[in-house]
Amino acid sequence: MSTPSATPSRVDPQFLLEVGDLIAQSLELGVAGADIDPDAPLYGDGLGLDSIDILEVALVLSRKYGVQLRADDADNHRIFSSLRQLAGHVAGLRAT
């Protein structure tokens, strides 16, 4: 079971930008973190990431912030649903 996330609407805008930049850089998306819509889906129609991309993102965030993002977490669909959700989850893990 997942550790509770920070309220996504209350994620620090600077942290949101930082996580967006990490995603853009690690996946070589050719965009800045500020260009990623924080509420757009990460999968499919939004940012267009696939499962391999999500694994890479989880690894980068785990290394950078010392948090554990587990592949078997039942909440992964929600956690990785958008940049805002992901940043909120990581922020919540860092606070514990």
How sure is the predictor about 1, in pLDDT bands with cuts at 50, 70 and 90? very low
Residues 6+ apart with CB under 8 A from 6: 88, 89, 91, 92, 95
Tokens read off for 1: 């079971």
Please write the tens of the pLDDT for every residue from 50-76: 999 999 999 999 999 999 998 889 999
Domain ranges of the chain: 11-95
- The answer to whether 42 and 78 have CB atoms below 8 angstroms apart is no
CA distance 4 to 32: 28
Single pTM value for the model: 0.88
Using the 8-state DSSP alphabet, how is residue 65 labeled? H
Domain 11-95 has CATH 3.40.50.300: no
